[in-house]
Amino acid sequence: MREAIELSLDNIDHGGGPFGAVIVKDGRIIARGANRVTASNDPTAHAEVNAIREAARVLGTFDLSGCEIYTSCEPCPMCLGAIYWAHLDKVYYGNTKADAKAIGFDDSFIYDELALPMDERHLKAIPLMHDEAIKAFEKWENKSDKIEY
Ligand SMILES: [Zn+2]
């Protein structure tokens, strides 16, 4: 956690937001990430996502089971989703989402949206061309050599 916090502090001096994360496997840091949203014009470049991408590259796998993430702040919904998809075993966090909100990084609107039924959310999601889209799922379902994840 100390390393993640150090990354969050250091990142402020290098054009990023005050967020850092490290991923640990077998007691050793295998990947680091810092927030690079504005520096790289990438809205998904949060510290946790960057650390996950690095860990997956280092280990050569999309499954990070057996790894734990230490992040300087409680993960936002996107990062939490990425953590689930990566199958990380545990999350340790320093600052809370309330701490983040207090300095202008408020992700509570996303949590609020997720709690609503689709048709009541501010972001409209409109079903379209289902009959054609489903063909990819049927093709996948029938593929005999697919890699499940
Ligand atoms: Zn995030």
pLDDT in tens, 72-113: 999 999 999 999 999 999 999 999 999 999 999 999 999 999
CA distance 22 to 138: 38
Q: What is the pLDDT of residue 97?
A: 94
Taking the CA atoms of residue 130, residue 136, residue 141 and residue 143 in that order, the dihedral angle to the nearest 10 degrees is 170
Read off the pTM. Answer: 0.93
Average pLDDT of 134-146? Answer: 95
Q: How many CB atoms lie within 10 A of CB 84?
A: 9
67 alpha carbon – ligand 1 mean position (Å): 18
Q: Which residue in the block uniquely carries the two structure tokens 């005050």? A: 18
Is position 113 annotated as part of the catalytic site?
no
Residue 147 has pLDDT above 90, yes or no: no
Which entry of 3, 6, 48, 54 is annotated as an active-site residue?
48
Average pLDDT of 23-37? Answer: 98
